[in-house]
Amino acid sequence: MDLSLVGILILGVLILESAGLAYGNLVFPVHHKFKGLQKSLSALKAHDIQRRGRILSAVDLNLGGNGHPSETGLYFATIGIGSPSKNYYVQVDTGSDILWVNCVECTNCPKKSDIGIELTLYDPKSSKTSELVTCDQDFCTSTYDGNVTPGCKAQYPCRYKVVYGDGSSTAGYFVKDYLKFDRVSGNLQTAPTNGSVIFGCGAKQTGGFGKSSQALDGILGFGQANSSMISQLAISGKVKKIFSHCLDNVNGGGIFSIGEVVQPRVNTTALVPNQAHYNVIMKAIEVDGDVLELPTDIFESGDGKGTIIDSGTTLAYFPDLVYEPLMTKILGQQPGLKLQTVQDQFTCFQYTGNVDDGFSTVKFHFEDSLSLMVYPHDYLFQIREDVWCVGWQKSGMQSKGGSAMTILGDLVLSNKLVLYDLDNQVIGWTEYNCICTFDPRNWRVNKGSSNIKVKDEKSGTVYTVGAHNISSASSVLIGRMLTFFLLLIGILNNVSY
């Protein structure tokens, strides 16, 4: 072979290596029935357990990831932190109350991510605007219910530690720095802006946070507490305490915005007051028009009880007294299925037909006449062309204290616009096309992608906010590499030996 051709081949390999394609994205291949399920579904369960531990401008967060259990299994956004600003990939999670990122002194932090992103460690010393939050400052005392940290002295850092249900934990200290985000400035247009936010500098991670399977730079908590990013920005007058998301479970990504949604119209239900999470009152569950016969007190709210809406959880979890009749009703329509239980919790089976034709539609009823329709393609997930698993789980399997809790995660929230209005203490949703399509020819999101309209409070102007998919870069890059190798093949075919 001509040495010039060897050079072309080496160039192709170098391009692939520099693009990071050697690592690839997190996909769990199944070569035959149920092979490889144990590892992939175990990682998904570990992720869900971890998540259960714990007014001027509209804002547009670039979203990536997906809610498919056999792929990424989570949604994440990019934010800028520090001066000069550096980008960080953080999971968006409505089930927790602080923003934290891995720091340079972190022990057991992942070095790479199987999701296909480049991880970045935050260094307070490299940012000109970074400030240490001390244990005697108001933020620290209010975060710990007004109690000063034992042994606190001037200039001692305000420390944090969060331990999750499976024993995984994150620990470190709070710092204050500039957070850079995109302010909506026009239709499908944004302009950079910033605000000072206090967040956790992760110094020690244990359990799942030290693994690369679903590794990100941190977690962006969108909870109701004053320590959350949205609460801090609202207190400083940067945004209204309203946000929404529209998660695309087909292509990945979607919409995540802060601000009042003008279009589409969203019906809401009241949040249960004085709860740590987004608790709502469920009234009944309907399967193909038949209301399940359940104990009258099964959905009562209280400690360890009630219904939670949580974007940081992938699956849906129900008390045993709900799970059993729900599964019996759904699977009863296909009595010939050969069910396979994986890890004593995942019900899987072979099915070659259209699941929307062969299985039941489930409708959840809430207070204030709000309902949530969940189709078979929402609660069933495919791990091979002819193998499906059920996304319903027993909440008793999730944590020791959660046996009476119902948790609705991404699997049932995807492809719906979900609105969280903390100013009015309501939450709601509507069926919506959240799809984000990407054009590899110009590296841009197509105009046909989903969008919503939000109101800029300062000017009163209504702007269009579109869908994003920051995870598309890898697929676009693969497309460009494929083009390169097609050209390479053409060159080789026209060379005489």
Q: What are the catalytic residues? A: 93, 310
Q: Please answer whether residues 283 and 365 qualify as being in contact, where contact means their C-beta atoms are separated by less than 8 angstroms.
A: yes
The C-alpha atoms of residue 57 and residue 236 are separated, in whole angstroms, by 12
Q: What is the Cα–Cα distance from 75 to 356, expressed in whole angstroms?
A: 25
* 102, 108, 111, 115: CA torsion to nearest 10: -80
How far apart CA 82 and CA 128 sit, in angstroms, is 7
Q: For residues 436 and 468, is the Cβ–Cβ distance under 8 A?
A: yes
Site of tokens 């109690």: 147
Nearest to 32 by CA among 337, 390, 386: 386
Distance CA(370)–CA(348), nearest Å, equals: 31
Q: How many angstroms separate the CA atoms of 154 and 102, rounded?
A: 25
Tell me the pairing of strands 254-258 and 444-445: unpaired
242-247 vs 254-258, strand pairing mode? antiparallel
N-to-C CA span, the chain: 7
